[in-house]
Chains A and B, each alone.
Chain A
Amino acid sequence: MAFNWEDPRPIPKMTVDNQKCNVPLTCKKCLELCPQAVFALITLKYVKYVETNINEPYAYAVRPMHRDKCTGCMECVNACPRDAITVQFGEGEVK
């Protein structure tokens, strides 16, 4: 848990397709179930005096902000109803 400079862990390539996942706040399965809390919800539409509607497409986006913490358990990939998430360790298979 403590911070370590010499951390040798492999870091996966992770992508979230924000075209497929365009209303993340109505689903947020990956945000809630990731044991390592890898994902972050980014608010793209931030307007003064206006509250953003959670149903509005492309107003929010999910981003694998803490991908260095990913263990490759693939919970998110399996849970995503829109198949928007990919996780790849090394040159291995893309899931």
Chain B
Amino acid sequence: MCQFCMTHGYGKVWYKNAMNYARQMYKLKKHKSSHDHGRDPEGAAALIIAEAVEARGLKPEEFPRLRHMANKVAQEMVAGQVVTLEDAMTMVELASPIALMGCICRKITRGRLEDNEDSYTCMGLGIGMFKWDRWPERYKGGVHFVTVEEAKQWLVKWHNKGMVASLMTHGTPYIGGLCMCDYPDCLAIRYRLDYGINQLFKGEFVAKLDYDKCCGCGTCVERCQFGAIKFEVTIEKTNIDQFRCFGCGVCMTTCPTGAISMVDRKTLPGLREVW
């Protein structure tokens, strides 16, 4: 069961519920957080998560406790979920305004400064973007407001390069960002895969391979950011581990024979509880 769909989507896909992009939901976050002591609740959540991650190497005995706390605040304040390109396109139709900006994760992990329209890999959604200039250091390199059509072109551009689209909440369930992510420079993916901090949830879909159509070219293998796809040597075909699959659809669009399709996670009994 998709927990957010039940609590924030009336049982349907929660990020297709227009309410989760609304101004009123943005205002809620200030009252939501119980652990920020009056500071910026998102910043406080990021610090708690970072403390847990660093504890894995500095004081491993403290890690399980800190990880538990990090999980809680991450899901309350800065949760994410992988979405397919198609769903990302629906999202940009629901949200306004849409602004492109530099990715904060890549600044942190690789010192990469994205300062022009070609290099922006992050997208801010909704009313919060109008006051971006309060924190120019967060939006280093400026922001670029775009139309829905431009936003879709931007999504396709990065999707074709192999990036995973994932939404980010700013005080769940308010959806304030749509990022183009990869491993290891996306912190959310890294926290989930390397530290078991479930800030990023798996998508509503999961990749399924049609063995008859697969030609064994291996194009999809290198595109998977989650290590879910392997080349099975003995049968000369691709193998997709659906438990590792996050449902981004990056493999589907690159497959030359159309052998990969995305199926609804909820239709598979073994996967419908795996988020």
B57 within 8 A of A: yes
Interface string of A41-64 (1 = CB under 8 A from B): 111011111111010000000011
A3's contact among B50, B134, B194, by CB below 8 Å, is which? B194
Question: Bound complex: CA of A32 vs CA of B109, how far in Å?
Answer: 8
Nearest CB in chain A: distance from B36 CB, A: 16
B residues contacting the other copy or chain, number (CB 8 A): 30
Residues from chain B with Cβ under 8 Å of A39 in the complex: 109
Residue pair A37, B195 in contact (C-beta under 8 Å)? no
For the residues of A in contact with B, the DSSP-based class is loop
Tell me the count of chain A residues lying within 8 A, CB to CB, of chain B: 34
Least Cβ–Cβ distance between A13 and chain B, in angstroms: 9
> Which residue of A36, A41, A47 is within 8 Å of B137 (Cβ)?
A47
- A79 beta carbon closer than 8 Å to chain B: no
Q: A25-B111, A68-B57 are in contact. Are A3 and B195 (CB under 8 A)?
A: yes
Give the nearest-CB partner of A70 in chain B: B57
Q: Are the C-beta atoms of A2 and B110 separated by less than 8 Å?
A: no
Taking the closest CB of chain A, its distance from the CB of B192, in whole angstroms, is 8
A65 within 8 A of B: yes
- Excluding A24-B111, A47-B137, 5 further A-B contacts by CB distance (< 8 Å) are A1-B227, A37-B109, A41-B109, A54-B113, A66-B190
